Amino acid sequence: MQVLPRPTNISLDYKELYQFLLACQQKSLLKNKRQFISIPIAIEQVDPLIIFENLAKQEQLNFYFENKGKQEAIAAIDAVAQLQIEGKNRFSKVQNFIKTCTEDIIIFDKLNKFTTEPRFFCSFSFFDTTEADYPFAAATVFLPCWQIVRDSDRTILIANIAIDPNTNLPALIPQLKSDISKIVTIEQQTNKYSFSHNLHTKDIADTKKLQQTILAALTSIRAGQLNKIVLAQALNVWSAKDFSLYNSLDNLRQNHPNCYIFSISNSKGQNFIGASPERLISISDRKLEIDALAGSAPRGKTAIADKQLANQLLNSDKEKREHKVVIDFITQHLNQLGIKPQILAPRLRQLANIQHLWTPIEAKIPHNVHPLEIVAQLHPTPAVAGETRDIACQQIRHYENFERGLYAAPIGWIDTQNNSEFIVGIRSALIDRNRAILYAGAGIVAGSDPAKELAEIQLKLQALLKALT
Ligand SMILES: C=C(O[C@H]1C=CC=C(C(=O)O)[C@@H]1O)C(=O)O
């Protein structure tokens, strides 16, 4: 059980807000267009996951993001505006949607006290389109009704509301007041339900077949058809009881404090969750940060064994090649956007169960480059597809007998100032009541040992499985 200080009163002048909304309604009348009013409120430090658990409903679009190590957590609940699309131009269509909505956002923040802007939350699938029965669209973006952003020293709640000439403002204010009061008085303690269940598992791509696939991929690599391919496995899991989204996310953040914990709902009862160590992009005041992450080893059981594994990883030709392909690809694709990246010294990224070769990449981005143009250029990197990209993607389609869907695809947010963060949705699970499909993969290059790659995938899947208990 976790207990946090109970939030107290918040300072929002509802009379002033009412006058402001009246002026916004006038604007909406003149423009003949609905306007979005964004109302930021500083509240006491809360655990956004507890708010998420209490407020988020299955029939809404919801989003949760947390990096415990960085003391950052975001909950986005329900949508005031949304778009779900398929197809090749999905990144530019989402960009246009954000642009159009942003033109209609009016922020109620007269003193400019809050630097937390309203954010648009996005998820994309690995490929441009998804199979007809896959429960998420190839691109989803929404402006939430409620956004809660917590960092190390403050929590900002944002209420986004739509106003048009017909909105009943005298009725809206008491409703808003009651909703805000409900949120800030949510009991900041939670009892984890005891949730012992017998999990049944079945590999969708059975392990033997995956081993054969890896061998076939190695033959293609030797024949010079491609340099690298990332092959994934899907594991079907089911239990007698429904999985608890809250428990799973809480387990993931406790077990993987250095990863990005995420959850996206599709408003139809399915959730896509995971713990990813891989940040695709992060942009703050035009400073771009990217993690090139590829090449792995398990963690050792003792400090000596761990150091040995780390040294082997740092010095392995095969792992270094697998890693370099990712750095070269990112550099080349940033150059195509006129971005000159700075490649920092390679290092280790040590997680609870696994360690990776990691090279941070930084750059200053020009004013005219939108975060989604960078995402569109980079996705999928050779850390999740391969090299060359088109051939690797064709072979992934050919070899993998399951829909990747949101696995290994960009998930994140963009604010109205083009600050942004997208992670890569690896080590993830699609949860549908008492059923789940778990996904993890590994990069194959010349010299890969199929048994080791299979063990790496199992290690990643086991970490997810543990969180679902
Ligand atoms: C594709 C995955 O991991 C990638 C990210 C880091 C290291 C990887 C590797 O060493 O194989 C993979 O490229 C996954 O975990 O599903």
- The tens digit of pLDDT for each residue in 214-231 reads 999 999 999 999 999 999
d(CA 393, CA 348): 28
Strands 105-107, 35-43: parallel, antiparallel or unpaired by DSSP? parallel
Coil, helix or strand at residue 209: helix
Q: Among 117, 228, 400, 453, which one carries the catalytic annotation?
A: 228
Quick check: 2 pLDDT over 70?
no
Ligand 1 atom with least separation from CA of 276: 15
Ligand 1 atom with least separation from CA of 296: 10
- The tens digit of pLDDT for each residue in 85-108 reads 999 999 999 999 999 999 999 999
Quick check: 129 pLDDT over 70?
yes
Question: What is the Cβ-side half-sphere exposure of residue 348, based on CA atoms within 13 angstroms?
Answer: 19
- The tens digit of pLDDT for each residue in 201-213 reads 777 667 888 999 9
Coil, helix or strand at residue 248: helix
What pLDDT score does 208 carry?
86
Q: Is 148:413 a contact under the CB 8 Å cutoff?
A: no
CA distances from 411 to 6, 204, 242 (A): 31, 24, 25
What pLDDT score does 302 carry?
95
Amino acid at 326: V
What pLDDT score does 204 carry?
65
Q: What residues contact residue 302 under an 8 Å CB cut-off, 6+ apart?
A: none
Coil, helix or strand at residue 110: coil
Is residue 67 within a helix (H) or strand (E), and if so which, with residue range? strand 62-67
Mutational test site, ligand 1, from 256, 299, 356, max ligand atoms within 8 Å of CB: 356
Q: Is the reported ipTM for this assembly greater than 0.85?
A: yes
d(CA 47, CA 101): 29
Burial class (CB in 10 A: 0-12, 13-18, 19+), 106: middle
What pLDDT score does 153 carry?
87
Domains for the chain: give ranges and CATH numbers: 12-190 (no CATH), 200-467 (3.60.120.10)
Kindly give the distance from the C-alpha atom of residue 262 to the centroid of ligand 1, in angstroms, as a whole number. Answer: 17
Question: Which DSSP category does 244 fall into?
Answer: P
Burial class (CB in 10 A: 0-12, 13-18, 19+), 401: exposed
Ligand 1 pocket, CB under 6 A: 230, 232, 278, 293-296, 356, 383-384, 408, 426-427, 440-443, 460
What pLDDT score does 7 carry?
45
Tell me what the mean pLDDT of segment 410-432 comes to.
Answer: 97
Paired strand residues for 38: 107, 160
Q: What residues contact residue 197 under an 8 Å CB cut-off, 6+ apart?
A: 239, 240, 241, 469
Question: Which DSSP category does 241 fall into?
Answer: S
Ligand 1 atom with least separation from CA of 356: 7
Ligand 1 atom with least separation from CA of 326: 13
Mutational test site, ligand 1, from 278, 378, 393, 444, max ligand atoms within 8 Å of CB: 278
Q: Is 40:105 a contact under the CB 8 Å cutoff?
A: no
Ligand 1 atom with least separation from CA of 382: 13
**Cα of 300 vs its chain's centroid, Å:** 28
Kindly give the distance from the C-alpha atom of residue 320 to the centroid of ligand 1, in angstroms, as a whole number. Answer: 13
Q: Among 66, 278, 322, 400, which one carries the catalytic annotation?
A: 278
d(CA 46, CA 148): 9
Q: Is the dihedral of CA 455, 460, 461, 465 positive or negative?
A: positive
> Greatest CA separation found in the chain?
73
Phi, psi of 28 (to 5 degrees): -65, -35
Kindly give the distance from the C-alpha atom of residue 285 to the centroid of ligand 1, in angstroms, as a whole number. Answer: 29
Kindly give the distance from the C-alpha atom of residue 387 to the centroid of ligand 1, in angstroms, as a whole number. Answer: 14
d(CA 7, CA 43): 7
- Quote the Cα angle for 161-164-167, to 5°: 80
CA-proximal residue: ligand 1, atom 6 (nearest): 294
Q: Is 55:333 a contact under the CB 8 Å cutoff?
A: no
- The tens digit of pLDDT for each residue in 144-201 reads 999 999 998 889 999 999 999 999 999 999 999 999 999 998 887 766 655 556 777 7
Phi, psi of 253 (to 5 degrees): -70, -30
Q: Is 439:428 a contact under the CB 8 Å cutoff?
A: yes
pTM for the full model?
0.95
Q: Cβ of 218: how many Cβ atoms within 10 Å?
A: 19
Q: Is 307 tagged catalytic?
A: no
Burial class (CB in 10 A: 0-12, 13-18, 19+), 179: middle
Kindly give the distance from the C-alpha atom of residue 403 to the centroid of ligand 1, in angstroms, as a whole number. Answer: 18
What pLDDT score does 176 carry?
95
The alpha carbon torsion through 378, 384, 387, 393 (nearest 10 deg) reads -90
Burial class (CB in 10 A: 0-12, 13-18, 19+), 307: exposed
Average pLDDT, the chain: 92
Kindly give the distance from the C-alpha atom of residue 206 to the centroid of ligand 1, in angstroms, as a whole number. Answer: 19
Name the residue with tokens 């406790």: 254
- The tens digit of pLDDT for each residue in 349-389 reads 999 999 999 999 999 999 999 999 999 999 999 999 999 99
CA-proximal residue: ligand 1, atom 2 (nearest): 441
Is residue 347 within a helix (H) or strand (E), and if so which, with residue range? strand 347-350
Q: Is 86 tagged catalytic?
A: no
